Chain A
Amino acid sequence: MTALSIQNLKKTYGNGFEALKGVDLEVECGDFFALLGPNGAGKSTLIGIISSLVNKTSGKVRVFDHDLDTDRVAAKTCIGAVPQEINFNQFETCFSVVLNQAGYYGIPRKLAKQRTEQCLRQVELWDKRDTVSRRLSGGMKRRLMIARAMVHSPRLLILDEPTAGVDIEIRRSMWEMMQEVNKQGTTIILTTHYLEEAESLCRNIAIINNGEIVEKSAMHQLLGRMHTDHFVLDVGRSLTGAPAIAGYQIELVSERCLEVAVPKSLGLNRLFQELSARQIEVLSLRNKSNRLEQLFLDLVQ
């Protein structure tokens, strides 16, 4: 069963800008799906249409087989959305923000209070339940939006850059939480600018650019397409030029630092042997960029 099915979705804004030019997309039930794209590619418009925040120009959107036009209530009930920007009442307490959202989904007060407690505990905000939401830190505000989106137990959770501006520790804990939610059966669609986040969490990926899907595949298949890895090496002695090793493209970044393009067919062992033969000791090694980042740039440029 598909959690989300989009057919020929188009959106043209009043000023004539075509944000979506006929998007087709399917997300399987239970998937952890990444939707990536550069700024202005159409991600937020697409998510806005699915979440009923933006009117589409044409096309079909079905959520768990419920048409968003003709079976609106059932379709909307399946969706929980965490937008990019803070959009809760900043004068309400955290508890009220989540409780009110439960009410909008028709959950009776008593049950809504239980669900609110459960969701606030899940995002580790229970201690802040009586705090006015504007007093929360940036990371807490994002977690509050996630709690709010989960209060009606949606089958499809859409997260639009949920970890933007959040420190590493909180980001990691949010990753764990999202993985846990996904394990429990909730389909997740994630947009993010942190490509290592998409690589770590998501099983399938779509890349959107200029209002069109330019790539859609399983994450491992996409990463498998990479033929070359780029590494940065710190070396033990000063160099005046980049060593020439057949098959490897090497550049001297600074006296004690090299940047190497390593073809997968050759690997790292041979590189280390060749460097060692030239009395160049490798002190440390790191990826130049995230692997997905390299592919992403290739696809959108």
Chain B
Amino acid sequence: MNYSVAFSTILIKEIRRFTRIWPQTLLPPAITTALYFLIFGKLIGDRIGLVHGIRYMDYIVPGIILMSVISHSYSNVVSSFYSTKFQRHIEELLVAPVPNYVILSGYVCGGIARGVLVGLVVAAISMIFTDTRILHWDIVAAVFVLTATLFALAGFINAVFADSFDDISIIPNFILTPLSYLGGVFYSVEMLPGIWQKVAQGNPILYMINAFRYGMIGVSDVQIQIAFAMTAGFILLLASLSLYLLHKGIGIKN
């Protein structure tokens, strides 16, 4: 059997899903980004001055882009896979001879596609407000894709365990958004008081944002090797857990 056909079917279906409803999926991040730059960058940023020798408006660009990638890769998979369960058309996949890794990669790549597309939209908006230039394209691309992969996997696991629509909004609202804001999107951890600097280092999103910031503007609060190692480690962990859940049929089979 040709598994690449099954994979591309899931992926195309996923991409069509979020592009069909682009006013809900692609337009809001563009508007939100513009507001971030207007309020935090222009109005407040002018009073803050320089961070690590860089204009505040330019400093927050990487964090804002990556925050969009995180939230959209996550929400794409969690909402899509949960509604697949809710409407029971997950059964279409379960009766077919599609291996679990193909199901997982199809949905995760759908999440990556949306995360990357939204990231590009946000990056394009940021170009209107800033004159940021990318210093290390390879690091930027790697962090972009790895972060989207990690949060798409997290969204998948959330969807597997979700029993109601409430369950798919709890983690984004109460964990993901706070961790993103506290992950140094709008500030350098060096600006935090001593103890909070230590606390912030327990936040995995901090490492990803700083690696991305290093790739774009060349400054970081953490070592990027650690950031890559952590992201890769989490991806392996969540991918293994997702495959185990699919294998056992937890949350999707009777």
Contacts and interface: CB of A to CB of B under 8 A. Distances in A.
B24 interface: no
A76 B92 contact: no
Interface of A: 13, 45, 48, 51-55, 72-74, 76-77, 79, 81, 83, 85-90, 96, 100-101, 103-109, 148
Contacts of B89: 87-89
Contacts of B5: 103, 106-109
A101 B13 CA distance: 11
Interface string B13-44: 10000000000000000000000000000000
Contact of B91 (A74, A87, A100, A103): A87
Contact of A53 (B2, B8, B10, B91): B91
Contacts of B93: 104
A93 to B, nearest CB: 11
Given A48-B254, A55-B249, A107-B5, A76 B87 contact: no
A105 B1 contact: yes
A83 B88 CA distance: 11
Given A52-B94, A104-B10, 19 more contacts: A48-B254, A53-B94, A53-B95, A53-B254, A54-B253, A55-B253, A76-B95, A79-B95, A83-B91, A89-B89, A90-B87, A100-B9, A101-B92, A103-B10, A104-B92, A105-B97, A106-B2, A106-B97, A107-B5
Contacts of B2: 106, 108
A77 B1 contact: yes
Contacts, number: 77
Nearest to B92: A101
Nearest to B3: A106
Interface residues of B, number: 24
A76 to B, nearest CB: 4
Nearest to B252: A53
Contact of B96 (A86, A88, A90, A101): A101
Contact of B95 (A52, A74, A90): A52
A51 B88 CA distance: 14
Contacts of B230: none
Interface string B144-174: 0000000000000000000000000000000
B219 interface: no
B217 interface: no
Q: Chain B contact residues: over half helix, strand or loop, or mixed?
A: helix
A-B pairs, top 9 by smallest CB distance, nearest first, are A103-B9, A104-B96, A87-B88, A76-B97, A106-B2, A73-B97, A106-B1, A54-B254, A106-B5
B98 interface: yes
A90 B83 CA distance: 11
B51 interface: no
Interface string B52-91: 0000000000000000000000000000000010011101
Contact of A100 (B88, B92, B97, B249): B92
A48 B254 CA distance: 9
B215 to A, nearest CB: 36
A92 to B, nearest CB: 8
B200 to A, nearest CB: 42
A13 B254 contact: yes
